[in-house]
Structure 1
Amino acid sequence: CWDFLVPIDLDYKPKVDWDINCHVIHQLKTNLSKRQLRLFKKTCFGYFLDLPLVIVQIRVMHHLLMREVHHEVKNEMQFVVNDSRLRFGLGKFALVTGLKCKGDISIESIAENRLISKYFGTASMTFAQLADCFKKKKWETDDDALKIAVLYFVNSFLFSQLKTKAISRSYIDLVESGDFNNYPWGIDVYKATIDSCSNKFQDKPSFYRLGGFPLALQTWLYECCPSLDGHFADHLGNNKLPRILKWAVMGQIPNERVALQMCSLQRKQLKNITPTDDEKKQFDVRGLSFEIEVECTDSQPSQPDSFQVFGTQLPKTQSMPESTGGDSQPTNAEVMKELQALKLFVENKFEEVLAAIGRQSVKPEGNSAHKQQDDDLRSGKMLYM
């Protein structure tokens, strides 16, 4: 049995903010010349230019994070979806993002950084200054355009940087030196992601923010639950790698629909992701951990005596009293048979309802991704659950 970090409360609906710039690919293609774009394509981040339209689905993320459980493994997140445990670690992150997740993360510092001196004139720069430089195309050479574009991509997309925060001097030195293509960015981005997304609800805050690269966690969920295809996101059916290139995510999903779908997932619909032969050839994942089987328990993680589902108080299931004799008491086998029949009936009804919902098109809330204002410093919006 695995214990949730906090008991699941489906009536807990805080405000959520996120700062990942999901329009960065459009901005790169708009702001860079054809030659500059070709240079970016050749970098370690070039494959992201093939990213389909995506957004962070806040309610999906919220319902996933509520299912985080206690565990003893360092530097990973574990979740129980119904009675199945799913583990999100560095290896899964590598398969989803394609970022290099092995290697030396030490960075050699530069005494005087030419890029900072030339374009910013200060000892440091904020993300707002970097965004202004990128959007106004203040560079003088194609090489500098590439460096500024890489810094903008890394900070606005992979790290969800706040506009008031200073850009890491180490990363500026790394990009200026040209060594950024060999750097294991996945290690840093993964750490930022789990540091920001793990254990969010200890004190039930009325507001929280998702930092790091939450799209990786969201895409991992879809890979673990292929039956969500067509409900929350659309699998494009292509053979592109990494896996984040396979999913288009264009709209927010109503909270009740997310809760219903997550609660109805069955054990047979869940899987842990493991590297394919093509992924083993393309990505260095040797030594990273992958579990083949989904771990299951016959009992749910510990819950309070009752919990809320759409405003209805449901009592915790009580054990059947032992028989005291006589023919009127059902046997354990009979009870289990009746429960299995009831379970099958409910599951079939869930599938009918969800199939009907799935036939409806997913409509984005508010402005479409295509209508995002180019002068926005970030694409994150405050959203009520």
Structure 2
Amino acid sequence: MDLKDLCSQIPLYNGRVLGVLLGIRHMIMRSNDTGLMEFDYCIPEEARLRAHISQRSNLKYVKTVMDIFDDRQRDEFRNSPLWYLAEVAEIQFSAQLIQQLVFRTIRTDKVNELWFNVQGNMMRFGLQEYTLVTGLRCGVFPEGDEFDRVLERRRLKERYFKSMENISLAQLQTTIGRPSTARADRYKLGLVLIVEGVFNAPDNNVGIDLRTLSIVDDLDIFFAYPWGRVGYRRLLHGFRGFWAKKFLKAKRRQEKEVTYTIHGFPIAMQVWAYEVVPEIGECFGQRVGNKCHDCLGGPHENNHSIVRTMYSSRTCGYGYHVLLLKSNST
């Protein structure tokens, strides 16, 4: 059975569909011929063309950075709020699953949430769910003169990328590996590669967010920054109507397929779907173990217990694990 057939047969799942009762009044509904209420999909069924999906996020950047770091830097990273990323193995991106979620996205006036209708299930994916899966902080963005001065810093940009208007992930990775790169700066640039390459995932022709280079020059501010909120916004953009326009335009032109790219960290949504719809998780992944990490009392006072859930993919043949449930958000 493929994912499309499975999504059409999933029964109502009580108890784990997040926020359904609170969110129904924000959905855009209409009445069908039988008098029952229906939800408007962002992409109508008649416009659901074949799609080719790619993603920019790549978890391999974490391993790349860990391999470049020396032993002391690896220890520093494992004592940082992002320590758990060093233990996350490679995860296969499921284009089929994400595509089915795209097709089942429904219209809502809640601009900071995504809602999906899966055979009557109203499922919410918002900043809270993203943070629970990724473990990233999701507090408010810092403001004020002190933070403005942080953003004005150009030391790393001027020293290593002075002549570059845009800095690609490949250029950043090359700079990290150069023997001439100062040791302290190698650590900071490695952190930038992880945040930009895994969670923000820009296009090559756009380059990384230069503000990340400024923020990382103060490690206390960097580790306290709400990167979860940044990554979630990147992921949210396509679902909020950008892709729907592409499908509708292709339908009007009588095209047979659509190609689009997902930015941000779609693996978070993929793992969330495995958890909230067990039928999908049981069909396309296999849970192989749980392990709790108690970070209370550690060097970072805002850390909390984190649960690692591991799956073995039935389609790709290798195991992977991600961090779930308790985040280190403020």
Deviations 1:131-185 (A, max 9, x none): 22134465221x2121011010111110112223232222111001222011111
Contact 2:113 2:124 in 1 (8 A): yes
1:108 aligns with 2:151: no
The 3 A distance-change label for structure 1 pair 43 and 9 is farther
Match of 1:238 among 262, 285, 290: 290
* Structure with the greater alpha carbon radius of gyration: 1
Of 89-98 and 33-42, more deviation after overlay is shown by 33-42
* Counterpart residue number, 1:212: 264
CA distance in 1, matches of 2:292, 2:45: 36
- Give runs of aligned pairs for residues 43-58 of structure 1, distance below 5 A: 43-58=80-95
Match of 1:185 among 221, 227, 230: 227
- 1:223: Cα distance to partner? 1.4
Contact 1:65 1:198 in 2 (8 A): no
- 1:56: Cα distance to partner? 1.4
Q: Which amino acid aligns with 2:186?
A: A
* Counterpart residue number, 2:60: 23
CA distance in 1, matches of 2:307, 2:267: 8
- 1:103: Cα distance to partner? 2.5
Unaligned ranges ≥5, structure 2: 1-37, 251-257, 294-304, 317-323
User: If the length of structure 1 is used for normalisation, what is the TM-score?
Assistant: 0.61
* Counterpart residue number, 2:124: 87
CA distance in 1, matches of 2:314, 2:66: 22
- 1:33: Cα distance to partner? 1.6
CA distance in 2, matches of 1:137, 1:165: 27
Contact 1:52 1:248 in 2 (8 A): no
Match of 1:131 among 162, 166, 173: 173
* Counterpart residue number, 1:223: 275
1:119 aligns with 2:136: no
- 1:80: Cα distance to partner? 0.6
- 1:252: Cα distance to partner? 5.5
1:161 aligns with 2:202: yes
* Counterpart residue number, 2:134: 97
Match of 2:77 among 15, 21, 40: 40
1:172 aligns with 2:190: no
Unaligned ranges ≥5, structure 1: 254-274, 286-385
Q: Which amino acid aligns with 1:239?
A: K
The 3 A distance-change label for structure 1 pair 113 and 56 is same
Deviations 1:68-120 (A, max 9, x none): 01112121100011111001111111111111111234443454522222222
- 1:249: Cα distance to partner? 6.2
CA distance in 1, matches of 2:81, 2:138: 12
Name the structure with the higher strand share. Answer: 2
The 3 A distance-change label for structure 1 pair 232 and 171 is same
The 3 A distance-change label for structure 1 pair 149 and 283 is closer
Contact 2:135 2:329 in 1 (8 A): no
SS at match of 1:237: strand
Higher RCO, 1 or 2 (CA under 8 Å, sep at least 6)? 1
Q: Which amino acid aligns with 1:92?
A: E
CA distance in 1, matches of 2:41, 2:306: 28
Deviations 1:191-212 (A, max 9, x none): 1110133332334152111111
- 1:29: Cα distance to partner? 2.7
Tell me the C-alpha RMSD between the 2 structures: 2.7
The 3 A distance-change label for structure 1 pair 30 and 129 is same
CA distance in 2, matches of 1:149, 1:164: 21
CA distance in 2, matches of 1:25, 1:203: 33
Q: Which amino acid aligns with 1:211?
A: H
Contact 1:233 1:250 in 2 (8 A): yes
